[in-house]
Amino acid sequence: MGRNARYDILFEPVAIGPVKAPNRFYQVPHASGMTEANPRVRAAFRGTKAEGGWGVVSTGAVSTHPSSDDSPLPFARLWDDNDVRAHALSCDAIHEHGSLAAVELWHGGASVMNRTSRVAPYSPSGIPWAATHVGFMGQLRPRIMDGKDIRDVIKWQVAAAKRARSAGFDIVYIYAGMGYLGYEFLLEEYNRRTDAYGGCVANRVRFVRELIEATKEAVGDTCGIALRISLEELRAKPSDHFASQAHEVVSLLADLPDLWDVKMDSSPTDCGASRFREEGAHEPVIDFVKKVTSKPVVGVGRFTSPDTMVAQIKRGILDLIGGARPSIADPFLPRKINEGRESEIRECIGCNICISSWHDGVPVRCTQNATAGEEWRKGWHPERYARRGSDDRILIVGGGPTGLEAALVAARRGYQVTVAEKQTEMGGRLVYEAQLPGLQAWGRVTDYRLYALKKMANVDLYMDSELSVEDIFGLGHQQIAIATGACWTKSLYSSLEIPVGELDRPDVYTPDDLAAGVVPKGPVLVYDFDNYYMGGVIAESLARRGLQVRYATPAGHASAWTIMTNELPYVHQALEKCSVDVHTQMLLNDFDGERASLSNIFTGKASAVAVKSVVIVGLRLPNDTIYQQLAARQAEFAAAGIKSVQRIGDAHAAGALVHAVYAGHMYARQLDRQEDELYIRDIPIAEYPHGAAFTG
């Protein structure tokens, strides 16, 4: 099958200064969580995207100097020759497939705490970023940069650019976005200087201009020079002679960089979760840039539809289709479009688990793509699978995310696979959850896998098939996977921050009851100590049905963990819009059918709310009854031809969707492996003489 002609424009080359991108697919800079501590893991991760057809593959933020130190969050460096060698591995992996390698050089300014280097942070005017996310908080306030500091930062940028060229990078970035140093000079809230670098927009842009000019002079004859800039706040600010300060800044720098990489100002708006942001949501902010500059423009918008991509180009919004999250969910997205296989794209669902991995300080992970970050250390390729090691027949009990992923990977390896699901449709927990407000895109987890499985001759799918132990013994399968999910309980929560007891009343419900069609009487209290999306979205859903809803949690925010996925501000906005009363730092102690008794988790102060029902969103426990029944008859396995019975996914240990899909993938990859090796441990490149002084 060949490429659809209407997508030809996506495969046109684009000149970026002295280099040329082979197509319009551009993996924009995004964090990988891998750093120089895992150079081979990083190289395989980026190289796989190049293999998948991304014409440009970029690093995440790469520090130019120890004064830009984001630890303990993972960040990359170009400080010395060890770093050059580490990055060269990625460049080689990217170049192997004919793609360009781009490096996002970065100085964090006042937005980094320099916890390891202990250098006072740099800033235009000593204004700190007063973060509300505990992981970003610190007590070291930034210095006010003098003339030497400005010259030093430019010098470090130039030195890092030269190292980048030595490593093999084709495109070198200047970063003026997301609250980092270049952005701080552009924005008047940060920049209160009265010298040539402050005041009017023309002065505030001077620092960024000098960074571009110095970088271009250093490597611009061989490398394209890209400017990554945030335009959201600037677009909202008036200008005396332009439509906005964003228009003015872009006009002042119009043709100086070889490429404009345009984005939003904060992670929640730049990388908005699909629950709150549609595909292409950046357009209203960045749509003017191509009208001002003659240089190519790249931007993002969680693009998953090739028709949307073509429209962005033909309407003059972008020249290059930027992808971060879509390139993680499916590194082979461009190749699939090129080969006429766009129906096989593993679309990003916008859950932002990838972003949470950076906040966690670990290599990137993805709900849709279990191989992300595992390409080198586990040898997992997103499109290639080792052939089966036996003629064993595989039975998977349960057709939720874990079961479907296990079935798909096992079938792609060549095994004969049967999936038995007791409900009338496949999808497990997603049958209900994908109907909740904003979560429709999550249904792609089921859709992608079912679409592929239904086309495979070695797969049998059965719905309405609740199997007994006797059924399983009689079906003639050698490998049995129990993927029967987990159930929500009515457990309460204690001041020790653990689940305790149960509030077992007929007017107390769990999400499982709501999924079964129960509509609680209002007013209803949603009590949430799960702390991810479920409690907040159930409260929103019930309120949209016209019920009066109160939400309580022992945490300090509603759906507190969603700060990790960029959703927290919008969860609170959604609850406010639906008139949900939010009570934080609260324990639910009791409910008598009329009033729910609460107390503050820290002070013990008692309170009560008048409600007719309670929904508890807290502890989940495995549905493993069938597994336990099978395990009790292990002595009969050999006679029935059964070689193994394993619990996988939530039936083994309840978790988020990302854990469920990963568990199914791992089960199928390891079906015939003897070793129980988790992964190969990467090691840093450390050839620099011990104790040598930093030479930046």
Instruction: Show which residues are catalytic.
Output: 180
Q: In 231-351, where do the E strands start and end?
A: 259-263, 297-299, 320-323
Inter-CA distances, 536 with 32, 289, 459, 551, 558, Å: 29, 37, 37, 8, 7
Residue 100 token pair: 């360009």
* Separation between Cα atoms, residue 193 and residue 637, nearest integer Å: 77
Contact between 402 and 664 (Cβ < 8 Å) = yes
The answer to whether 617 and 534 are in contact (CB under 8 A) is yes
- Collapsing DSSP states into helix, strand and coil, what is residue 308? helix
What residues are paired with 394 via a beta bridge? 417, 479
Are 38 and 66 in contact by the 8 Å Cβ rule? The answer is no
Rg (CA), the chain: 27
In whole angstroms, what is the distance from residue 103 CA to residue 175 CA?
Answer: 10
Q: Please name the helix (run of DSSP H) or strand (run of DSSP E) that holds residue 16, with its range, or none.
A: strand 14-16
Half-sphere exposure of 254 (CA within 13 A, CB side): 10
| Encoded tokens for 279 | 């595909």
Spell out where 339-423 has E strands: 393-397, 416-420
Residue 619 DSSP one-character state: -
Joined together, the tokens standing for residue 23 give 């197509």
What's the 3-state SS for 638-665? HHHCCCEEEECHHHCCCCCHHHHHHHHH
For residue 136, what are the contacts with CB-CB under 8 A and spacing of at least 6? Answer: 111, 113, 129
Instruction: Pull the structure tokens for residue 275.
Output: 């629950």
Runs of H (alpha helix) within 52-192 = 81-95, 147-167, 181-186
Answer for the pair 645, 636: CB distance below 8 angstroms, yes or no.
Answer: no
H helices present in 443-523, as ranges: 444-454, 469-474, 511-515
